[in-house]
Every structure is written in structure tokens, then in C-alpha cells.
């Protein structure tokens, strides 16, 4: 072949490839006057020249845009009040993301009526291979000063923002996560005038769905510590933007939000979680975390030995006695959790010095470790303003110090600080005596001006913890997390176990402490979905629990009515199983929580094995596998734990679950029929 022929052939191939690309592109993009319509298989976005937009789900228009605004010089410039205008757009282009693939980008440039004529770009990325759209606030043209609206529970910028269309208002439901531990899960009809959409500082991801199961999930997609969702009940509108007290947004900053589609509420949450994992390339350290493989002995809040020792003995002697009893009774503990009682506290109860107090361990922590032979999971609170580690107090490290709290602020300092702590705690970090630590999230974050007013401080703090853990081969547990902490964990593979319930006597179960009256079921029900799927494959820690009903001498004057069920829930959560019983009292009782049905499964060599837990069901319920999100083949079978009776359980044969026995629960196991030749 001559050079001329070869060149001609190559040109034809390039032209053909370009034509094919354009045809594919045109299938996803249509112009309607000055508006552009971009779609994939499930989502259709229409963006108009004036900056308004709408979103349709499988052909039905669900959402209309509300308001786009930015706070500049302590004044809100918005589309709705006529002080923010589109000066360039609608612009459409093609792009490719190395993690999520090809997308169509639609962008608008806005200009505010401030003296500087500040410009901000907003854009939509519609992905071709994922049922998702990302929304970006892009401050590449200019930074912004005077952003704060004075309320951390509002937002100082807004994009995207939505209202539900009038014809869909009564047809859609919602599910919203919020508060500490993601404790509040609001579910209801969108047309309810009293709906409780979780928003503000403690707000979290929001799902909207219809009766067919079509579901969209909306959340932050980056800068999780600075991004907030805000629901305005007066406008029935949802907005995503920068936290309301942030004072400045630097030039070049970008804030992203995502909407992801899925069929079925649970599958939508899992699909959304998988999208975030894929975007950040995160692989959790859960496979190697010892606390997820072995039993541990816990002294956390709610445990018998939480700020409580045997009469006439110190902690060292008390826990050595526990170890002796454990060995005599062949209880296979492999690690011990040391709570906040072991180190020095300073002003406002924060960490002053993360070393063992002589009153607790008179012979030192290293000697105690040799006596018990356990690895340690070590608790760490918020930082006290008089912490010995801060330069302001004569220490070596950079901290932000305020009246009530302090916060380390440099990634390398987190490395040094955590290495120092590791050596202090374990004497020699490489010996492996200390394998994980827990950090309190919400108290540190909500109580400092710096974390609420500076757009980067929160993320720097979180990523510094992650960096220190990575360099020291330590695993992390987040205690009292907000939704933003769990979302940020998509960048922190060392986080393997956020605490998912209130640490109160008898451990956030049922009818114990005033703040613990809500059902533990929320953690392995709705909240477990958020942890396992939406929160990116971490494993929720139910919290430690008693294994007997009574614990004479406990400091709470409480009892555990349902210890057997606590054990079942803890085991099924896939998180740590943390027993916290007084020695000589370690035996199992029975239990009950509130009326719920949970399910999980194991996939072994392509065979689906299911588990169904029915809790306090007052009447019999008929279930087929699909009702419990189990993909069981025909034929399949089930049996109740402790019963020899095998019953058919597949698409042709329903299972009768409940009513609950006196124990308050039923535990069923399902198996496919496997022929043996």
C-alpha cells in the first residue's frame, strides 16, 4: 500500500469515527429553541438559557429548579431576585472521566450585580454509562469573600436546588438521613405539610421515589465536610451548597453534587454508594481489620467497666481479672477496647495528653499489655484547648486553638502526632499492640468556629487523621459521626467501622436510657443500608452490649432486657462484636426490640444463602424471597433457627414469619436447593 493510499484510508477512518461519535452524541442531546435537553437511559435534563432547569425520571418530569444564588460581600445575589444573571451559555461539550466514563457537559456562566461583577460557572455532567448527573459550582473565575449568612444550618450558595413538580407532588415519597449516628431517618410523602427532611449541619443524603420503585438519591459528591443540604419548608425546596457560616470561598474551588437513579429504594442507595466508591477508587481495609474478624472486650460508654472498677481495685487489676476469667472459660477474645478513662483530660473534657494515667495503669501500659496479651482499640476524644501537643501550649505541633476545643491542621503533623501517639500507647508501634483508634466526630466539628467558617479546615482535619492512620497501619472508627463524616470517608479507606448507635446503658437498645429509647433496629435496618451501601462498604458498629439481663454494681442503674437479641443484631451487622459484661456475668439471655423485618445474604460460589430476622412482629407476615431482597432460585428452602422443620421458600412458596415468640424475634435461614449427583 502506498503512503498516499494509507493516508487516505486513515482519513476515511477518522471521518467515520468522528461521524459515529457525533451520531452517538446527538442521541443524547437535543436542542429545543435556546434550551438543551440531555438524556441517558433513565434521566432527562433540560437546561434553559435563563438558567432554569428541570429533571425527568424515565420520561416523567419530577423536579423543577428553584433558585441559584451566591452570597458575596454579605449579600445574596440570586436568579429569583434578579441580581444574578446568565452571561454565557447554554454551552454543551463532551468529556471523559477516568473513573465514570463519557459524559455530556452543559454549563452556564453567571454574573452577580456586585461591584466586582463576580462570575461563577455552574455545570451539569450527564454520564452515559451511569444513571447519574453531577452538578458543579465552579469558582475558577473568582473567589468570594463575605459568604456567611450567619447560620450554619443554611447554605450560602445554592446549586442545584429543586422543587417537586405540582403533578408529582402527591405521587412521590422521600427518605432522608440525618443527625448524629445518622440516627434520624425520615420517611414520608412529599406532599405532607409536616415532612421532616433532614437538612443543615446534620443533614444527609436524600432519596425521592415513586410507587413503582423509581428512586433518585441526591448528595454531596466532593468537599463533603463543607457541603450541606438545606430544606426550606416555606418554599418546599431542597438546595445543596456551601455551609451557611463559611466566610470565604477561594478562587479555583469546586463543589459538586450528584443525583443517582436506581430501581427500588435499597438498590438505589447501593448504586449511589457504588458510584462514589468508583469515583474515588476506594477499597476499604475491612478485610484485614482484626476487630471485624474476632470478638473484642469493650469498656465503652454503656459497658460495665466504663469509669467503673471492681471494689478496691484499679483498672489494671480489674481488667487482668477479666482476662483470667476469659481464659478459664475459653472465651476467644482477641483484643480489648480502652475507652476515655485511660488518658489525661484537660479543659472541657478534651484530650490533654494521650498517655496512660498512673492511677489507671500504675505499672504502665506496656506492662499491662504483656499481662493481658491483647491488642488494643484505643479511644480518643476531641482535643482540649490546653492540649500539651499544641505549639500554643509549648508543644511541637500546629493546632487551631479556640476557647472550647483545639484541632490539628497539617497533614504531616497528623502523621507525626499519630506516630507519637502510637508509640506512646503501644510503646513500639511496629509491635502491633495497638491496631485501631476511635475518634469523636460531631462534637469536634460542630463546636469550633474554624470548622464551620473555613471551607477547607474540616477536610484537612479528616484527611490528616487518615494520613496518620495509613502511615501507622491503624484502622479508624468514627464515633458520633454526622452524615458528612461518613460521606468524607469515601476518601478514607482506613475507616472501617463508624459507630452507629448511642453509647448508653445497655447500649442503645430498648427502653434503657432516656436518649436510647429508639430501636437499635434502625442501625441494621435503614441505617445499615446507608453504611453498607451508601457509606461505601464500611461496617457499622452496633456498639458494645451486655450478655446478661442484670449486671449487679453497674453505674447506670439499668438492666438489659434483651441480651440474646443484642448478640444477633451485633453479629448480623458485620461490624465489631463488642461484649461489655462484668466478669462472672458472661452468659447469654434473650431479647426483643421493635417490630421490624431485616434481611441479609451470603453469596458462596454463586449460591445465594439468606438470613431473615423478624423482631417483635405482632402478627404473621407472608414473604417471598423478593420481599426480602433475596434472589433465591426455585426451589429454595428455609428453616427457623433452633427448629428442624424445613419449608419451601421461593417465588412459588411464601414463608410465614411471625408472630414473634416470647423471645421477641425469629431468625430464619434460607438455602437454595442444591442437587447432589
pLDDT tens for 222-240 read 999 999 999 999 999 999 9
Average of per-residue pLDDT values in the chain = 82
Predicted confidence at residue 508, as pLDDT, reads: 31
Question: What is the arithmetic mean of pLDDT over 486-515?
Answer: 55
How would DSSP label each residue in 529-588? HIIIIITTT---B---B-SSS--TT-TT----S-HHHHHHHHHHT-S--EE-PPTT----
For residue 276, the number of C-alpha atoms closer than 13 Å in the C-beta half-sphere is 37
| Predicted local distance difference test score (pLDDT) of residue 602 | 83
The answer to whether 380 touches 301, Cβ cutoff 8 Å, is no
User: Quick one: pLDDT at residue 113?
Assistant: 97
HSE, side-chain direction, 13 A CA sphere, residue 565: 32
What confidence score (pLDDT) does residue 515 get? 24
Tell me the average pLDDT across 61-83.
98
Range name among 13-27, 400-414, 581-595 with the lowest pLDDT average: 13-27
- What is the arithmetic mean of pLDDT over 623-648? 88
* Nearest alpha-carbon partner for 361 in 352, 371, 374, 353: 371
Share of the chain above pLDDT 90, in %: 48
Q: Looking at the predicted structure, is the pLDDT value of residue 214 above 70? A: yes
Q: Which residues lie across from 451 on neighbouring strands?
A: none
Q: What is the pLDDT of residue 20?
A: 39
Distance CA 495, CA 488 (A): 10
Report d(CA 42, CA 289) in Å as an integer: 38
* Average confidence (pLDDT) over 143-149: 97
Alpha-carbon gap, residue 189 to 170, rounded angstroms: 7
Choose the weakest-confidence range: 63-72, 439-448, 535-544.
535-544
pLDDT for res 16 = 40
- All structural domains of the chain, each given as residue ranges with its CATH number in brackets, are 33-280 (2.70.98.10), 286-594 (3.20.20.70), 597-672 (2.60.40)
Higher-pLDDT residue of 196 and 173 is 173
Instruction: Indicate the pLDDT class of residue 247, thresholds 50, 70 and 90.
Output: very high
pLDDT at residue 379 in the model? 86
Average pLDDT over residues 98-107: 96
Adjacent-strand bridge partners of 390: 397
Lowest mean pLDDT across 121-135, 147-161, 441-455, 573-587: 573-587
Higher pLDDT, 106 or 439: 106
Alpha-carbon distances, residue 549 vs 78, 331, 432, 520, 558 (angstroms): 59, 19, 35, 17, 9
**666, β-bridge pairs:** 614
In this predicted model, what pLDDT tens digit does every residue of 352-374 receive, in sequence order? Answer: 998 899 999 999 888 898 999 98
Give Cα 194 to chain centroid, integer Å. Answer: 26
d(CA 149, CA 380): 33
pTM, two decimal places? 0.80
Mean local confidence (pLDDT), 471-494: 83
CB 144 within 8 A of CB 169: no
What pLDDT does 412 receive? 56
Tell me if 562 sits within 8 A of 570, measured CB to CB.
no
Amino acid at each position: 500500500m502506498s503512503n498516499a493510499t494509507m493516508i487516505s484510508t486513515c482519513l476515511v477512518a477518522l471521518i467515520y469515527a468522528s461521524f459515529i461519535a457525533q451520531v452517538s452524541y446527538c442521541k443524547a442531546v437535543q436542542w429545543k429553541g435556546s434550551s438543551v435537553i440531555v438524556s441517558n437511559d433513565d434521566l432527562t435534563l433540560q437546561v434553559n438559557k435563563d438558567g432554569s432547569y428541570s429533571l425527568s425520571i424515565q420520561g416523567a418530569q419530577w423536579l423543577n429548579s428553584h433558585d441559584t444564588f451566591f452570597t458575596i460581600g454579605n449579600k445574596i445575589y440570586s436568579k429569583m431576585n434578579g441580581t444574578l444573571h446568565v452571561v454565557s451559555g447554554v454551552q454543551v461539550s463532551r468529556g471523559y472521566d477516568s473513573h465514570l466514563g463519557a459524559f455530556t457537559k452543559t454549563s452556564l456562566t453567571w454574573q452577580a450585580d456586585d461591584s466586582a461583577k463576580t462570575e461563577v460557572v455552574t455545570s451539569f455532567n450527564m454520564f452515559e454509562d451511569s444513571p447519574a448527573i453531577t452538578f458543579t459550582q465552579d469558582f475558577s473565575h473568582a473567589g468570594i469573600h463575605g459568604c456567611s449568612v450567619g447560620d450554619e444550618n443554611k447554605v450560602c450558595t445554592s446549586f442545584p436546588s429543586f422543587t417537586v413538580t405540582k403533578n408529582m407532588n402527591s405521587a412521590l415519597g422521600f427518605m432522608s438521613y440525618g443527625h448524629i449516628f445518622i440516627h434520624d431517618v425520615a420517611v414520608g410523602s412529599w406532599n405532607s405539610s409536616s415532612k421532616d427532611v433532614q437538612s443543615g449541619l446534620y443533614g444527609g443524603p436524600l432519596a425521592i421515589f415513586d410507587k413503582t420503585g423509581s428512586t433518585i438519591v441526591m448528595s454531596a459528591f466532593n468537599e463533603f465536610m463543607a457541603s450541606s443540604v438545606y430544606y426550606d419548608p416555606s418554599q418546599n425546596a431542597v438546595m445543596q451548597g456551601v455551609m451557611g457560616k463559611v466566610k470565604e470561598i477561594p478562587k479555583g474551588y469546586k463543589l459538586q453534587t450528584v443525583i443517582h437513579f436506581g430501581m427500588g429504594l435499597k438498590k438505589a442507595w447501593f448504586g449511589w454508594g457504588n458510584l462514589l466508591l468508583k469515583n474515588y477508587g476506594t477499597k476499604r481495609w475491612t478485610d484485614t481489620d482484626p476487630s471485624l474478624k474476632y470478638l473484642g472486650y469493650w469498656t465503652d460508654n454503656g459497658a460495665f467497666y466504663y469509669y467503673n472498677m471492681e471494689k478496691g481495685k484499679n483498672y489494671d487489676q480489674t481488667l487482668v481479672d477479666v482476662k483470667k476469667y476469659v481464659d478459664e472459660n475459653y472465651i476467644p477474645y482477641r483484643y480489648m477496647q480502652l475507652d476515655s478513662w485511660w488518658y489525661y483530660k484537660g479543659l472541657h473534657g478534651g484530650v490533654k495528653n494521650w498517655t496512660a494515667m498512673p492511677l489507671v495503669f500504675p505499672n504502665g501500659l506496656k506492662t499491662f499489655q504483656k499481662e493481658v496479651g491483647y491488642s488494643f482499640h484505643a479511644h480518643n476524644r476531641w482535643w482540649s484547648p490546653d492540649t500539651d501537643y499544641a505549639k500554643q501550649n509549648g508543644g511541637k505541633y500546629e493546632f487551631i486553638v479556640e476557647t472550647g476545643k483545639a484541632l490539628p491542621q497539617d497533614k504531616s503533623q497528623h502523621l507525626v502526632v499519630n506516630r507519637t501517639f502510637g508509640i506512646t500507647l503501644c510503646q513500639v508501634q511496629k509491635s502491633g499492640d495497638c491496631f485501631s483508634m476511635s475518634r469523636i466526630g460531631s462534637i469536634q466539628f460542630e463546636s469550633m468556629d474554624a470548622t464551620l467558617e473555613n471551607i477547607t479546615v474540616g477536610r484537612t482535619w479528616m484527611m490528616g487523621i487518615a494520613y496518620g492512620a495509613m502511615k501507622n497501619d491503624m484502622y479508624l472508627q468514627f464515633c458520633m459521626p454526622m452524615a458528612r463524616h461518613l460521606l468524607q470517608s469515601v476518601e478514607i479507606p482506613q475507616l472501617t467501622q463508624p459507630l452507629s448507635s448511642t453509647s448508653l446503658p445497655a447500649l442503645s437498645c430498648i427502653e434503657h436510657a432516656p436518649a436510647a429509647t429508639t430501636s437499635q433496629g434502625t442501625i441494621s435496618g435503614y441505617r445499615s443500608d446507608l453504611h453498607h451501601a451508601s457509606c461505601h462498604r464500611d461496617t457499622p458498629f452496633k456498639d458494645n452490649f451486655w450478655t446478661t439481663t442484670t449486671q449487679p454494681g453497674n453505674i447506670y442503674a439499668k438492666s438489659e432486657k434483651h441480651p440474646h437479641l443484642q448478640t444477633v443484631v451485633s453479629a448480623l451487622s458485620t461490624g465489631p462484636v463488642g461484649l461489655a459484661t462484668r466478669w462472672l456475668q458472661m452468659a447469654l439471655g434473650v431479647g426483643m426490640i421493635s417490630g421490624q423485618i431485616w434481611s441479609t445474604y451470603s453469596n458462596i460460589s454463586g449460591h445465594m444463602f439468606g438470613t431473615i430476622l423478624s423482631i417483635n412482629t405482632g402478627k404473621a407476615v407472608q414473604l417471598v424471597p423478593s420481599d426480602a431482597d433475596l434472589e433465591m432460585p426455585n426451589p429454595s428452602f428455609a428453616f427457623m433457627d433452633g427448629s428442624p422443620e424445613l419449608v419451601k421458600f421461593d417465588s412459588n412458596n411464601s414463608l410465614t414469619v411471625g408472630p414473634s415468640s416470647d423471645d421477641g424475634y425469629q431468625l430464619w435461614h434460607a438455602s437454595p436447593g442444591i442437587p447432589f449427583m
